[in-house]
Amino acid sequence: MAPAYGILLKIMNDNLFQAIRNALISKIDFTQNADNDEIHALIDEELLEASRKTYISLENRLSLSKELFNSIRGLDILEDFLNDDSITEIMVNGYNHIFLERNGRIFDSGKSFSSPEKLSDIVQQIVAASNKRVNQSSPIVDTRLADGSRVNIVLNPISLDGPALTIRRFPKIPLAMENLIETGSITKDAAHTLKQLVKSRYNIFISGSTGSGKTTFLNILSGFIPPLERVITIEDSAELQLYHLKNLIRLEARQANEEGANMITIRDLIRTSLRMRPDRIVVGEVRGFEALDMLQAMCTGHDGSLSTGHGNNPKDMLTRLETMILMGIDIPSHAVRNQIVSGIDIMVHLGRLRDGSRHIISISELLDCHESDFLLNPLYEFKETGETENGKVLGFLERTRNKLKNTFKLHAAGIKESEL
């Protein structure tokens, strides 16, 4: 009887929710930008009126009030997830399947939108807030929420089972290197070395798989940039939070309009940034031919620049950079490789271990390229030492016996090799 009663109660609540919501929609003048207090007051009035006709428990009344407000002013069912700081990823696979990530583990939320139309409304609400658009003729968009969360949206007919909405969440207070040291993602020694390399203006490229924490780590490394340097950040959707920098310019790419015009690409932004007298350029992620412009910036007096890219390991990432460039221009492969070696000094590779934890897997110096083989000088490598009974991987980032070979920038910054 208990399961049947629960189903009946849910049906009654759904009907009550929809009836009250319809009444509220008819009363709220959205053209006048009704404030939150006014909406809460109207919700209370409707709930009071409904309670005169049918019994509504206090717990149910509070729940309905919250859900009604979220459906009108917020992002409906997503609001509960966005208010939970422990959730790092929200994955919506159509209106009735929502998955969440917490502590590196993915699980079914058990929640759903009331209808496909409701999910479509939420999608349009999200893109409208950032002056972007998504529809059947342009079914893919990257954007962000007001709190800085990264959003990717794919609509029909590309997404066959309905709109796919993926929200990557970031901490409200940006993580610092100390947080990574506390969680064992990096050692204090390796963190100190990276700090000295950033201060010495080495060009650093961060590689890793999806969800390995590249953007978060890029933000942390950027925190070591001296606060008075002029820094330009370039991103598809602005995510970096470099609050300590005073002379900061943030640039964001723009998709084409409905006529297919007025697109501003990452490549356009890198080129224009060179005319803005930057000390350093931070490119959120390179995915295509803009890799060449990024490397040229690194080679033309903008030492200390930082960027990220998707790769399974450092050598794979370097090969992918070569491929990105060759897909956009017809030049000899050896010239591209020389450009990569001239531009990038340090490769930092991040990964997710089998227990879902994120770690710095390696820190390497890029030395040269012989034929098609990039030569790396590993400075730190992750060493696994075991596993706990509950499956947590144990290990640490171990310093190798190799020394940094290209020390010119280190000496120019007045830092001794013994200080690494």
**pLDDT tens across 268-299, in order?**
999 999 999 999 999 999 988 889 889 988 88
Give the model confidence (pLDDT) of 1-18 as tens digits. Answer: 455 544 444 555 667 766
DSSP one-letter string for 174-241: ---HHHHHHHTSS-HHHHHHHHHHHHTT--EEEEE-TTS-HHHHHHHHHTTS-TTSEEEEEESS----
Distance CA 310, CA 208 (A): 5
Tokens of 257: 């309009």
Give the model confidence (pLDDT) of 219-251 as tens digits. Answer: 999 999 999 999 999 998 888 888 889 999 999
Between 275 and 114, the more confident residue is 275
pLDDT category at 30 given cuts 50, 70, 90 is: very low
pLDDT value at residue 31: 42
Mean pLDDT for all residues in the chain: 86
* 383 CB-near residues (< 8 Å, 6+ apart): 395, 396, 397, 398
pLDDT value at residue 53: 77
Between 79 and 381, the more confident residue is 381
Distance CA 85, CA 96 (A): 23
Q: How far is CA 392 from the centre of its chain?
A: 25
pLDDT value at residue 210: 86
In this prediction the pTM is 0.79
Please check the confidence at residue 332 and state whether its pLDDT lies above 60: yes
- Phi, psi dihedral angles at 366 (to 5 degrees): -85, 120
- The Cα-based distances of 175 to 86, 131, 160, 329 in angstroms read 14, 29, 37, 39
